[in-house]
C-alpha cells in the first residue's frame, strides 16, 4: 500500500512540474524554452531537461522538423550524461535558428573546449551545460547574436 502511495505522489509531482513548465512555455518562444533546457542541464536536472526538450520539440515540429527531432532525442533520454551528449547536436541547430529568427534580446554563443561543443546562453556569464557543477564556468563567449526585434 505504501509503495502505491509513494508512486502516486511521484506521479502527481511530475504532473505538477510538467503542467507548470507547459504553462510557463505557452507564451515563450523556442529560444526561451531552449534556455530553460540548458539551465536544467547546468543544474543536472534530467527530468526538467526532458520536459523542456519535449516542449521545444513540440514548438518546432511543424516549422523546424530537424531541430524537433534533435529535441525529441534529448527528451527521450533519462540519463543526464546522455542528455548532455545530445545537447551538442541540438545546440548546433539552435545556433543556426537563432541567427535566422527574430528575438527580443541578444543570444550569446558559448564554447566548451573540453567537450569541443557550443551552446546558446541568455547571458554572458558561462554556465556549462555539458559538465554542470564539475566545470561550471569552463568555456567562453565566442559570438553575440544581436537582437532583432519584430518590426
CA angle 83, 27, 38 (to 5 degrees): 20
| pLDDT value, residue 151 | 65
User: Per the domain annotation, does 150 fall within a domain?
Assistant: no
Q: Which among 97, 78, 83, 77 is positioned nearest to 130, based on CA atoms?
A: 83
**Residue 31 to residues 18, 35, 41, 59, 140: CA-CA distances in angstroms?**
18, 6, 15, 10, 20
Number of domains in the chain: 1
Torsion of CA 56, 137, 110, 132, to 10 degrees: -30
Q: Which domain holds residue 133?
A: 2-145
| pLDDT value, residue 36 | 98
Q: What is the pTM of this model?
A: 0.81
User: Per the domain annotation, does 12 fall within a domain?
Assistant: yes
| pLDDT value, residue 16 | 47
Higher pLDDT, 14 or 41: 41
Q: Which residues contact 13 (CB under 8 A, 6 or more apart)?
A: none
Average pLDDT, the chain: 87
Average pLDDT over residues 80-96: 97
| Across 21-25, 75-79, 114-118, 146-150, least confident range | 21-25
Amino acid at each position: 500500500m505504501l509503495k502505491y502511495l509513494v508512486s502516486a505522489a511521484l506521479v502527481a509531482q511530475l504532473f505538477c512540474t510538467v503542467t507548470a513548465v507547459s504553462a510557463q512555455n505557452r507564451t515563450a518562444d523556442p529560444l526561451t524554452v531552449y534556455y530553460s533546457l540548458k539551465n536544467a542541464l547546468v543544474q543536472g536536472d534530467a527530468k526538467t531537461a526532458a520536459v523542456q526538450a519535449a516542449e521545444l520539440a513540440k514548438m518546432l515540429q511543424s516549422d523546424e522538423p530537424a531541430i524537433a527531432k534533435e529535441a525529441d532525442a534529448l527528451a527521450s533520454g533519462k540519463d543526464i550524461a546522455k542528455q548532455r551528449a545530445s545537447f551538442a547536436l541540438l545546440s548546433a541547430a539552435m545556433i543556426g535558428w537563432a541567427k535566422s529568427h527574430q528575438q527580443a534580446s541578444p543570444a550569446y554563443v558559448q564554447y566548451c573546449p573540453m567537450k569541443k561543443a557550443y551552446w546558446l546562453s541568455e547571458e554572458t556569464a558561462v554556465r556549462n551545460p555539458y559538465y554542470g557543477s564539475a566545470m561550471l564556468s569552463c568555456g567562453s563567449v565566442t559570438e553575440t547574436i544581436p537582437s532583432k526585434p519584430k518590426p
